[in-house]
Amino acid sequence: MSKSQVGKDEPGEILDDNTQWIAIEPQRTDAPHPPLASPNPPSFDESQFDVILRRQRVRPPLGPSRKSTTIPSRFLNLSNDFEFAGWGTSLNLRLEASDYEAGEARVKMNDETKILGQFTASALAGNAVLGSVFYALPAVVGVASVYSPISLFIATLTLFVWRPIMEELGSAFPICGAPYSYLLNISNKSLALLGAALLFLDFASTSVVSAATATSYLAGEVALPFPEFLGTIIVLLIFTVVSLSGMKESARVALCVLTLHMVTMTILIIAGAVHWANIGNGQIIENWHNGKASSASEVAKQIFNGFCLGMLGLTGFECIPAYIARIKPGRLPLVLRNLHYPAIALNCVLMMLVLAIVPLKSILQGDNILSLLAEKTIGKGMRSFIVVNAIVVLCGGVLTGILSACELLEQLTHDRMIPKSFSRTMPVTNSPYVSVISFIAFSAAIYASTGAQLSIVSKMFSLVWLVVMSLFPLALLLLKFNRGRLPRTPNTPFWVVLLALTLVPVVFAGNVVVDPTTAGYFAAYLIAIVFFFSATQNKTGILKWSYGIYDQFPSLHRWSLTKSYGARIINIMRTLKRQPVGILVKTDEINNLFHMILYVRDNEETACVKIVHFVDEEFGVPSELEANARILDEAFPELTIDLIVVTGCFNPINVAALAHRLNIPPSLMFMSCPGPTFKYRVADLGTRIITL
């Protein structure tokens, strides 16, 4: 039973009817058996005969071929033709002028996106990082009491472990969507899917915590005419409308907001230091006696618990690699430095000033501890200004969460991990309304399921952030083993990677001990997102199960309402499998080709694979490439494997031109890991690395 020619005449595919791939005729059973193998190597004539025989395989024009099977179909009413994707073809392709124009435009657009310097790039994540003091300090002081400055200092120092890891990953993969994009290039798609789910949950937690904290600060100053939880929902709805209106986050606006925040915090620190000098150490001594622990073990416990929750003061750093493709080359280390040192100063110094000026009882009773500090040091006018500053910065965090989630969902649609409907835009504003509405609905569900309690959401946010940060050392560990040839700087010591991987479970366990219920919320939300992404990633598998169930009830094939269901399911599966992917190869080594085809079969929902080789006129096409491609076409009956030989050099413009010609996104064109001598970066090509 031969392969069906499913998808052979689809637009966007390049076929050559003059080129036939053929299979060896089955060996006659009545032919005499060859003699036993000789211990001596084959003669020159024998070896050349094997090569000639393999290259002269001709597929019979009619009748059964080697691409057949005697294994019965798993379905009662569906033949094995459905399982066979069709024969592959061979084509010599020369790109046209329109293709080169499209390729040059794509490369130029990628170069023009690198517009962010160290300060503007710092501002995009800076509002989330440095604005976290508004919800990190109350959470830490609630468990660490007078030992909060120590806990925060230790927590902020841990970023010295992560910075070289993030710098090395950023130099290897300066592409957006990290750490999801890192995992996609160094492991399988399942692990990358888990990373995407964690990132989505992190963005949702960012928006919820920012909106709830902004409402809490406002409710602490004025009497709201509605419940506080309703205020949080209103903030989310307001920024839903803002996002749908097409307003994009501007680096300059973010820089202005961050500058205002830093000036405000600087004034508060200076005023607090002057006030402390005027009143002396009486208040801090009183707070020490009222809040100190009774034993050394209790001291260690409080410091450790505060250290675990103190990680909230670093939330936002995970967003920096997400837009690294827009940062000018070499600026990432400076961006991390620009945000790390202020985070240490703000968290530790402000916490120390709060304990030195504000009574401990007042600190523990209110969430607006920075506004209390402002009132004590300057007056009620400064307290109101701090509240306004907090609301502005935190609302910026809400918008950052929405926009980051939309960018992630857009990347997932390009990688065919979620339906294309998530990339649908409004006609006037071009806003991805499906992504925005879905994200806000999920964020509201998180907030409602916790009973609208900010403390629970904040603690769960700490868990989510920790797991997301663990993806960076995990990605670097896999990078060192799976893509070790990829050029990058710096070379992070192995013990630093292991230290980061060790810190995460310790701090995670500490957060769970502080409040075990947060682990349940975290697990429930993560499972829900992973289940959704898994379902969208395995659409063909779900459809096969649906057809299998439909197939078990013969009466459904006869009823007028249901008899067409089977044909509809089959058409949807065939449509999904007609979406092509490209494999960019340099050599004809069949083991490398085999692993690349295996990756596509296991990770992509397609039955159409294009093996592409850019031919160098000086060296020509590898001698065994066509023969090995034919073998693989026979070895994988569920795939149609076409060979395309492109005249031209392997460079970013030609790759982009080929993507335009074949109508395949560059992110779905796969290649082997380049070595140190390769003169282009992965980000310049826009392709995905799938083998060593």
Q: What is the CATH number of the domain that holds 624?
A: 3.40.50
Determine the pLDDT at residue 277.
Answer: 93
Distance CA 446, CA 507 (A): 23
- Asked if the structure places residue 49 within a domain, the reply is no
Residues 382, 145, 469, 210, CA torsion sign = negative
Q: Are 60 and 165 part of one and the same domain?
A: no
Residue range of the domain that includes 547: 538-577
Q: Are 171 and 286 part of one and the same domain?
A: yes
Structure tokens at 123: 């501002």
Assign 613 to helix, strand or coil. strand
Q: Decide: residue 620, CB within 10 A, 0-12 exposed, 13-18 middle, 19+ buried.
A: exposed
- Asked if the structure places residue 592 within a domain, the reply is yes
- Asked if the structure places residue 35 within a domain, the reply is no
Would you give the end-to-end CA distance of the chain in angstroms? 37
Tell me phi and psi for residue 316, to 5 degrees: 120, -25
Structure tokens at 433: 């309304």
Determine the pLDDT at residue 644.
Answer: 93
Q: Are 557 and 658 part of one and the same domain?
A: no
Domain count, the chain: 3
* Local mean pLDDT, 10-residue blocks, the chain (692 residues): 41 44 46 53 61 54 50 65 76 89 87 79 84 86 91 93 93 86 90 91 89 85 82 88 68 81 92 93 91 88 90 85 83 91 92 92 82 90 89 84 84 85 81 88 89 83 90 93 87 93 90 85 89 86 82 78 81 86 92 93 90 83 88 87 91 92 91 87 88 83
What is the CB neighbour count within 10 angstroms for residue 679? 7
Cα distances (Å, whole numbers) of residue 235 to 385, 391, 426: 19, 10, 22
Distance CA 312, CA 130 (A): 11
Q: Are 557 and 653 part of one and the same domain?
A: no
**Is there a contact between 129 and 339 (Cβ–Cβ < 8 Å)?**
yes
pTM, 2 dp: 0.84
- Asked if the structure places residue 38 within a domain, the reply is no
Enumerate residues 6+ apart whose C-beta is below 8 A from 345. 269
Q: Are 3 and 121 part of one and the same domain?
A: no
Q: Are 466 and 570 part of one and the same domain?
A: no
- Asked if the structure places residue 677 within a domain, the reply is yes
Amino acid present at 575? T
Q: Are 593 and 628 part of one and the same domain?
A: yes
Length of the chain: 692
- CATH number for the domain spanning 403: value is 1.20.1740.10
Q: Are 89 and 145 part of one and the same domain?
A: no
Of 577, 598, 626, the one marking the end of a domain is 577
Structure tokens at 483: 């893509």
CA nearest neighbour of 352 among 258, 288, 298, 267 = 288
Q: What is the DSSP letter of 215?
A: H
Of 536, 556, 586, the one marking the end of a domain is 536
- Asked if the structure places residue 381 within a domain, the reply is yes
Distance CA 93, CA 640 (A): 18
**Is there a contact between 340 and 163 (Cβ–Cβ < 8 Å)?**
yes
Of 512, 536, 560, the one marking the end of a domain is 536
Distance CA 103, CA 666 (A): 11
What's the 3-state SS for 292-335?
CCCCHHHHHHHHHHHHHHHHHHHCCHHHHHHHHHHECCCCHHHH
Question: Residue 48 is inside which H or E element, if any?
Answer: helix 44-55
Distance CA 184, CA 169 (A): 13
Q: Decide: residue 542, CB within 10 A, 0-12 exposed, 13-18 middle, 19+ buried.
A: middle
Enumerate residues 6+ apart whose C-beta is below 8 A from 224. 215, 218, 231
Determine the pLDDT at residue 657.
Answer: 93
Q: Are 545 and 661 part of one and the same domain?
A: no
Assign 670 to helix, strand or coil. strand
Residues 667, 669, 671, 677, CA torsion sign = negative
Distance CA 461, CA 136 (A): 11
Distance CA 374, CA 366 (A): 14
Place of tokens 């800076």: 126
Q: Are 463 and 388 part of one and the same domain?
A: yes
CA nearest neighbour of 287 among 154, 156, 148 = 148
Residues 470, 473, 476, 477, CA torsion sign = negative
Structure tokens at 291: 């809040």
Distance CA 113, CA 107 (A): 10
Tell me phi and psi for residue 587, to 5 degrees: -120, 175
Cα distances (Å, whole numbers) of residue 100 to 93, 395, 658, 662, 682: 13, 44, 8, 13, 20
Q: Are 425 and 383 part of one and the same domain?
A: yes
- Asked if the structure places residue 46 within a domain, the reply is no
Q: Are 110 and 71 part of one and the same domain?
A: no
- Asked if the structure places residue 37 within a domain, the reply is no
